[in-house]
Structure 1
C-alpha cells in the first residue's frame, strides 16, 4: 500500500536566500529548503537533521557543487550531502531524506507524508 502524502505550503519565495537554505517545520519534522537560482531545478529540500550529530543544522550548511552534484556541507562535521539524492558523499551508507519541492506562485510547497493519528475511543 502506497503511503499517503500531501503538498504543504512551508514558506514563500521571499523567505528564501539565494545559494542558501532555510529551515521549515513539517508534520514529518524539520526540513531544509535550498534555493540555488543558477541551477535547474533551483529548489531542493532535504531533512534538516545531520545524521552524524543528530542536530538540526543542515539548512545552515554551505551549498556548493562537487563534480556537478549540488551539495550542502554540514556545518558541524563537514560531510557533503547531495541535494538531489540525500546521499552522503563521504559515506555512502548514510543519507538524509529528500522531499519533492515545488514553486506554486510565490509559495513553496513540499510533498510530505500524511501522519495517521490514532483515534482514542471515548
Structure 2
C-alpha cells in the first residue's frame, strides 16, 4: 500500500486529524489562527462528508450516498431560499460560503454522533457475546 493511499484512508477515517493537519499547516504559514480555522473547516468538509458516508456504510451495511447528497442539496436549497428571502437578491459568493460552512457544521456533528453511536453499539455487541 502506498503512502498516499494510507494518508487518504487516514484522513477520511479520522477527519479531525485532517482538519488539525490543515489548521497547523495554515497557521504556521500565516500566523492567523482565525483564518486558519476557517481554511481547515472549508477544506475538511469533504472529509467529514466521506467519513459520515463510510461510518453509515460500516454500521448498517448500506450505501446511503444518495442520502448524504440529498442532505447537502437540501441544505443548499434552504440556504438559497433564506438568503433570497432576507436580502431580496442572491449574492453567490456569500451564499456558497455559507452553504459550505453549514455543511461542515452538520457533517461534523453527524460524524461525532455516528462515532459515538458506533462505539456504544459495538461495545454492547461485544459485552453481549
TM-score, length-scaled by structure 1: 0.25
Higher relative contact order (CA 8 A, sep 6+): 1
Higher percent of residues as strand: 1
Higher percent of residues as helix: 2
TM-score, length-scaled by structure 2: 0.24
Return the index of the structure with the highest Cα Rg.
2
